[in-house]
Amino acid sequence: MFTGIYCRYNGYFVMRRISIFGATGSVGQNTVSIIKRNPSAFDVHAVTGALNIELLAQTAIGLNAKVAVTSESNLLDHLKECLKGTGISAKSGRHALMEVAADPVDVSMSAVVGFAGLELSLEMARHGQTLALANKESLVCGGALLRETCDRAGTKLFPVDSEHSAIFQALNGEKLSDVERIILTASGGPFLHSSFAEMADVTPIQAADHPNWSMGKRISIDSASMFNKAMEVIETKELFNIPSDKIEVIIHPQSIIHSMVGYKDGSIIAQMGPADMCGAIGYALYWPNRTDAGVERLDFATLSKLEFCAVDDSRFPAISIAHSAMKQGGIAGAVFNAAKEQSLDLFLENKIKFLDMADMVAKTVQATATFGNCEASSMDKISKADKWSREFVLNLVEMSE
């Protein structure tokens, strides 16, 4: 019987076969560092990346992987060159990624960034025993479809996002029917104390400078605009199948409490730890056991305070936009995500300002009805919504020029 990722079966530890999608990214490299702490616990099948071929090859060699895949077909020769003489097979392109996602493994780590991760997560869910999910876009755009795919294949779905890992841990052994509320914590990002006027002119470099967490550039900017938290509210609803009105967000600048579950007897169970993604990744990789993933220990004597305050909706409207997307349901989650991704691209290209991003997403989500909202029941429907939403944002920008 499969009882976890690093199984203790009749007293023996069983090695787990793993593939890491997005291995060259922030979550991917943290995953690599956890595996390297105890290499005999994992048999690495595939590692994937995009542009950083040297790091992809170095990761594949360091983990003794069987195959390395880049999403970029024009970089295959470079990858082959870097892997020459190692016996590691090199592949490229979307088709190869999908093929490798279907290879049977015990654990698939889904850590590609953005909408590109959804189709891959679905393929991993069809073929893996455990899906360790960092790609939150998968749940925001296709939560019901992903859950259904996991159920049909008997795949276990584990959250890697730190808040959702915290909720998962706080729900351990409890009944969902006893849950009164889920409280997601948010650091508040680099602009927590900035005025609206100050936020108007911030640059992508300032926005990517997260005070607590070290993450990829896109998610760091999403944290500054609170779009990351907005995504996480939808992620919570989809992952735990919980009504959106039971999900709250509270600013907690120290990022020590990673999230909390409130029960109907008034008790709150919180999960705490340093702001280090290795905690949540290690938990997903080793469940039901725990491992030392190299996370620093909290020293309560030196922790001077844990602060909390409400989210200022006027400066950070992203969460209320997420609520209107959840109210609409169907493909509105995919529309929300695509508008957010497209606006972020435009901000990174200096074509729109930081605060314009929320404006674009709000207008696009509002217009979902004109596109014809429908169930997000297939990849095809979700992809169409994604495309429509991106085009809608581009048209908005064109009209304003």
Under the rule (CB under 6 A), what is the footprint of ligand NAD?
22-28, 49-50, 71, 111-113, 116-117, 134-137, 161, 213, 215-216, 218-219, 277
Q: Which is nearer to Mg ion, 31 or 364 (CB)?
A: 31
Least distance (Å) from ligand NAD to the CB of residue 265? 31
Burial of 112 (0-12, 13-18, 19+ CB in 10 A): buried
Taking phi first (over 0 means left), then psi (-120 to 50 degrees means alpha), and beta for anything else, what does residue 14 get? beta
Least distance (Å) from Mg ion to the CB of residue 271? 12
Q: Which two tokens stand for residue 133?
A: 């999910």
Q: Which residues contact 53 (CB under 8 A, 6 or more apart)?
A: 70, 75, 78, 79, 82
- Considering CB distances under 5 to 8 angstroms, the limit depending on partner class, which of ligand NAD, Mg ion, none binds residue 27? ligand NAD
Residue of 147, 100, 104 whose CA lies nearest to 2: 104
Burial of 320 (0-12, 13-18, 19+ CB in 10 A): middle
Q: Which is nearer to ligand NAD, 219 or 334 (CB)?
A: 219
Rounded distance between C-alpha atoms, residue 91 and residue 29, angstroms: 20
Least distance (Å) from ligand NAD to the CB of residue 180? 26
- Considering CB distances under 5 to 8 angstroms, the limit depending on partner class, which of ligand NAD, Mg ion, none binds residue 143? none
What 3-state DSSP class applies to 84?
coil
Q: Which is nearer to ligand NAD, 24 or 149 (CB)?
A: 24
Buried/exposed code over 36-56 (b: 16+ C-beta within 10 A; e: otherwise): eebeebbbbbbbbbbeebebb
Q: Which is nearer to Mg ion, 41 or 109 (CB)?
A: 109
> Which range binds Mg ion by CB under 5 A, 30-38, 153-161, 254-262, 357-365?
153-161
Residue of 219, 230, 199 whose CA lies nearest to 354: 199
Least distance (Å) from ligand NAD to the CB of residue 195? 28
Do residues 336 and 322 make contact, with C-beta atoms less than 8 angstroms apart? Answer: yes
- Considering CB distances under 5 to 8 angstroms, the limit depending on partner class, which of ligand NAD, Mg ion, none binds residue 49? ligand NAD
Do residues 88 and 67 make contact, with C-beta atoms less than 8 angstroms apart? Answer: yes
The number of residues that bind Mg ion (CB under 5 A) is 3
- Considering CB distances under 5 to 8 angstroms, the limit depending on partner class, which of ligand NAD, Mg ion, none binds residue 75? none
Q: Which is nearer to ligand NAD, 23 or 82 (CB)?
A: 23
What 3-state DSSP class applies to 259?
strand
Sheet holding 130-133, edge to edge: 89-92, 67-70, 42-49, 16-21, 107-110, 130-133, 156-159
Least distance (Å) from ligand NAD to the CB of residue 14? 27
Q: Which is nearer to ligand NAD, 219 or 382 (CB)?
A: 219
Q: Which is nearer to ligand NAD, 70 or 149 (CB)?
A: 70
- Considering CB distances under 5 to 8 angstroms, the limit depending on partner class, which of Mg ion, ligand NAD, none binds residue 55? none
Name the closest residue to ligand NAD (Cβ): 25
- Considering CB distances under 5 to 8 angstroms, the limit depending on partner class, which of Mg ion, ligand NAD, none binds residue 330? none
> Which range binds Mg ion by CB under 5 A, 141-149, 161-169, 263-271, 390-398?
161-169
Is 161 a binder of Mg ion (CB under 5 A)? yes
What 3-state DSSP class applies to 306?
coil
Is 386 a binder of Mg ion (CB under 5 A)? no
Q: Which is nearer to ligand NAD, 107 or 396 (CB)?
A: 107
Interaxial angle between packed helices 227-240 and 162-170, expressed in degrees from 0 to 180 and rounded to the nearest 10: 40
- Considering CB distances under 5 to 8 angstroms, the limit depending on partner class, which of ligand NAD, Mg ion, none binds residue 137? ligand NAD
Q: Which residues bind Mg ion (CB under 5 A)?
A: 161-163
